[in-house]
Structure 1
Amino acid sequence: MTEHTTTHDAEEDARNRDILIYINGELYPRDEAKVSVYDSGFLLGDGMWEGMRLHDGHWAFFDDHMDRFFDSCYAVGLDVGMDRAGIADALRLTAEANGMTSDVHCRLMLTRGTKVKPFQHPSLSRSGPTLVIIMEHSKPAEALQAQGIRLASVPQVRGLPHSQDAKFNSHSKLNCVIACLQAEAAGADEALMLDPHGFVNTTNACNFFIIRKGEVWTSTGDYCMNGVTRAKVIELCRDNGIPVFEKNYSLYEAYSADEAFLTGTFGAQTPVASIDGKAIGTGDRLLTQHIRALYKQAIARDIAVRQAG
């Protein structure tokens, strides 16, 4: 059986067996951290989340993540129950309790809360939101940088905004899970999803870029997650004289790309080895490595500003 990798593969760390998890202001040992089966997140996937990384005691691009998180919650009438300073305090409490300062990944999750009956209507969530913070000691597996991810284009698409807007980082991930299952059935690691018009869009878990003749291409952004790392890569390319285009393109251009990579908070920039069994480029990935170095510098600058503040 073919072994599958993902963009979220991490080095094993025994300390994660004993982490403390934040639930609505309290900290619980990992095996005791639970929410109600009546919670709207469990029942319906009714919630929003953010993935963030801790570097030298500071959350990289914290304001960008909070902008997306609060905008998403507001758009679906989900009361966060605190401001971003309150979120920062909850993050600090959890990190300190776990003795975490760097190489840490956080999943911040907010649902509409516990329902009085197991049905859909939002008015049945009457006890306030459920806020959960899971932090793990987490370093992306170094082997991925050499090995790369194998993608398969799949029939499951990223839909139109008026069906379920892909810009929501919501708990409702069935669309992406189906795509991932289709890719796995095709012998790949993850899915390359198209938009409703058949143009290359994103993967089931990350944003997607290709490099052709020194130019960096990504989708228009109309149907993909408004990724923080995606936006940083586009900004870094523009600031450093690297031609970058948000445009429609097809699998034709993706197959014959010189390089391709995925972006996400966890893996930053993860190279793509193949698409539908077709090797991408020669494996040199020089521009991908340059962009990865620029991104590391951007994190360092962001942390320096926070430390100075």
Structure 2
Amino acid sequence: MVHGTHNALADSRNDSILISINDELFKRNDAKISVFDSGYLVGDGVWEALRLHHGVLVFLEDHFNRLWQSAKTVGMKLPFTKQELTAKVWNTLNANKMTDGVHVRIMVTRGIKKTPSQDPRLTISGPNVVIIPEYKAASKTSKEKGITLFTSTVRRGSPDYLDPRLNCHSKLHEVQALIQAIEAGADEALMLDVNGFVSTCNATNFFIIKNDEVWTSTSKYCMNGITRAKVIEVCIANNIPCFEKDFSLFDVYGADEAFVTGTFGGLTPVTKIDGRVIGEGNYGNMTKTLSDLYENLINAEVKNG
């Protein structure tokens, strides 16, 4: 069985979900897109993932701000407003009668190409928009157990060729890092930046706890994770020392605790890195405290609806 931050409990309701492709709904097995789609051909697309919690799309504004920033970065003009995309998402959710415990993936590609090519001028349609809503609950067992990491030799990119902050479809380097970690017997990959400092994981952001301080990497070489930002926010609000800084594996191996963050799993403890046990090798007290504070933030978002 696959173990990692994206472990979800099996839910048979997902067998019959409706998926939106350019505002048309399709059954799961019928949801298809052209082989000339620019996302399929050259990874030319951007995406977001967010959660529906008790009838509220949590941190929607933050997610859409990131999506629009990503689209501008790759020179893709979105032919709809944030309000219109919100309506598209809700139309999909309502068609599935979904109200809670849902993970929504939004993918926007540049569109259909006239012929296989990188050239954006050969795009003959507007952007393709795919919305996939699934019932997904994170496995509590996985969270209690924690995950193990392996430091990959695949580095996070430099901002001058593929800015690591960009939430785009081009994820091959992260896939390569994960494959390397899996082959080394770990659950997921820890990735360094171009200077050799700890950056992020292949699909989540990385934190350590040292002497009651929370450390995470600078934002230069990691994806601008929404959950990452919220953890920093709750630290500041609760007078917990939190630093975005350069640090190395020297610091990581001697950490008291470590955890990763992501929209789906929230905070997940890391028990072992490169075969070295981190702290007590369990779900640490500070990680639990931060996880509770993060959940409180979600509950406040839902309450303010």
TM-score, structure 1 as length reference: 0.97
Number of residues paired by the alignment? Answer: 304
For residue 281 of structure 1, the aligned residue among 269, 276, 279 is 279
1:120 matched to which residue of 2? 118
1:299 matched to which residue of 2? 298
Question: What is the distance in 1 between the residues matched to 2:291 and 2:158?
Answer: 31
* Letter in structure 1 aligned against 2:6: H
Q: Deviations over 1:15-53 (max 9, x none)?
A: 101100000011000000000000000001100000100
Matched, 1:239 2:240: no
TM-score, structure 2 as length reference: 0.98
Residue ranges of structure 2 left out of the alignment (5+ in a row): none
Could you tell me whether the CA contact under 8 Å between 1:214 and 1:243 is conserved in 2?
yes
Q: Deviations over 1:60-85 (max 9, x none)?
A: 00000010001110121112221001
Q: Deviations over 1:259-309 (max 9, x none)?
A: 100011000101101000111111251111111111111011112222xxx
1:16 matched to which residue of 2? 14
2:130 matched to which residue of 1? 132
Question: What is the distance in 2 between the residues matched to 1:229 and 1:81?
Answer: 28
Map 1:203-242 onto structure 2 (within 5 A): 203-242=201-240
Map 1:179-198 onto structure 2 (within 5 A): 179-198=177-196
Matched, 1:70 2:68: yes
For residue 271 of structure 1, the aligned residue among 243, 257, 269 is 269
Question: What is the distance in 1 between the residues matched to 2:248 and 2:45?
Answer: 33
Map 1:29-108 onto structure 2 (within 5 A): 29-108=27-106
SS in 2 for 1:156: coil
Could you tell me whether the CA contact under 8 Å between 1:112 and 1:128 is conserved in 2?
yes
Could you tell me whether the CA contact under 8 Å between 1:144 and 1:271 is conserved in 2?
no
* Letter in structure 1 aligned against 2:223: M
Question: What is the distance in 2 between the residues matched to 1:280 and 1:17?
Answer: 39
Question: What is the distance in 2 between the residues matched to 1:135 and 1:152?
Answer: 31
Question: What is the distance in 1 between the residues matched to 2:161 and 2:74?
Answer: 14
Question: What is the distance in 1 between the residues matched to 2:30 and 2:44?
Answer: 23
Question: What is the distance in 2 between the residues matched to 1:200 and 1:284?
Answer: 21
| CA RMSD, Structure 1 to Structure 2 (Å) | 0.9
Question: What is the distance in 2 between the residues matched to 1:4 and 1:21?
Answer: 25
* Letter in structure 2 aligned against 1:92: W
Question: What is the distance in 1 between the residues matched to 2:179 and 2:283?
Answer: 30
Could you tell me whether the CA contact under 8 Å between 1:107 and 1:135 is conserved in 2?
yes
Q: By how many angstroms is 1:131 displaced?
A: 0.0
Question: Where does structure 1 differ by over 4 angstroms across 4 or more consecutive aligned residues?
Answer: none
* Letter in structure 2 aligned against 1:25: D
SS in 2 for 1:163: coil
Q: By how many angstroms is 1:247 displaced?
A: 0.5
SS in 1 for 2:5: coil
Question: What is the distance in 2 between the residues matched to 1:61 and 1:43?
Answer: 31
Could you tell me whether the CA contact under 8 Å between 1:207 and 1:264 is conserved in 2?
yes
Q: By how many angstroms is 1:146 displaced?
A: 1.4
Could you tell me whether the CA contact under 8 Å between 1:113 and 1:130 is conserved in 2?
yes
Residue ranges of structure 1 left out of the alignment (5+ in a row): none
Could you tell me whether the CA contact under 8 Å between 2:146 and 2:283 is conserved in 1?
no
2:141 matched to which residue of 1? 143
Question: What is the distance in 2 between the residues matched to 1:290 and 1:101?
Answer: 28
| Distance of aligned partners of 1:284 and 1:70 in 2 relative to their CA distance in 1, 3 Å threshold | closer
Q: Deviations over 1:129-188 (max 9, x none)?
A: 000000100000111121111100010000110110011110000010000011011110
Q: By how many angstroms is 1:4 displaced?
A: 4.2
Question: What is the distance in 1 between the residues matched to 2:160 and 2:89?
Answer: 33
Same amino acid, percent of matched pairs: 49
Q: By how many angstroms is 1:99 displaced?
A: 1.3
Question: What is the distance in 1 between the residues matched to 2:53 and 2:212?
Answer: 31
